């Protein structure tokens, strides 16, 4: 069995080949090649080629959300939250105007809903007690 520097070189070569295969299967090598080819085709070379490549790679993954897109979604969600809170506050105010509630000590009339409580019986007026018919 071989050992020493020759064995270390074979292990390093195998690791390098595994890593290259991993990048190729993930589409990284193709994306990098396209980004570099696009940079090479530019008539006016960008001042920051690293930023150019990063921007090109971001565009090459349309399924991935961008930071600007996520910021826009966050701003929309915050605006919707503000609108809903305002609407909720308005509805609570309107509800309190129609049905005032005492929070300190609720009486039995506060707990019973008028829709579910039995109708109050009105005393009948009889003709014998001076009532009219």
Taking 50 as the threshold, does the pLDDT of residue 133 lie above it?
A: no
Q: Do 36 and 53 contact (CB within 8 A), yes or no?
A: yes
The whole-number average pLDDT for the span 35-49 is: 94
> Domain map of the chain by residue range?
7-64, 65-96
| Integer Cα distance of 77 and 73 in angstroms | 6
Identify the pLDDT of residue 98.
87
Q: Do 132 and 125 contact (CB within 8 A), yes or no?
A: yes
| Integer Cα distance of 6 and 10 in angstroms | 6
pLDDT tens digit sequence for 113-131: 445 555 555 555 545 554 4
Comparing 1 with 56, the larger pLDDT belongs to: 56
Comparing 64 with 130, the larger pLDDT belongs to: 64
| Integer Cα distance of 84 and 74 in angstroms | 15
| Integer Cα distance of 133 and 131 in angstroms | 7
pLDDT tens digit sequence for 46-60: 999 999 998 888 776
């Amino acid at each position: 069995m071989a050992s020493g520097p020759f064995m270390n070189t074979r292990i390093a070569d195998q690791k390098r080949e595994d890593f290259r295969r991993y990048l190729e299967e993930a589409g990284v090598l193709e994306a990098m090649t396209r980004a570099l080819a696009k940079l090479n085709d530019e008539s006016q070379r960008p001042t920051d080629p690293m930023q150019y490549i990063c921007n090109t790679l971001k565009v090459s993954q349309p399924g991935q959300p961008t930071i600007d897109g996520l910021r826009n979604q966050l701003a929309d969600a915050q605006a919707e939250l503000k609108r809903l809170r305002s609407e909720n506050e308005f509805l609570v105010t309107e509800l309190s105007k129609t049905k005032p509630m005492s929070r300190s000590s609720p009486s039995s009339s506060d707990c019973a809903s008028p829709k579910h409580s039995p109708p109050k019986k009105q005393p009948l007026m009889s003709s014998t007690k001076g009532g009219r018919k």
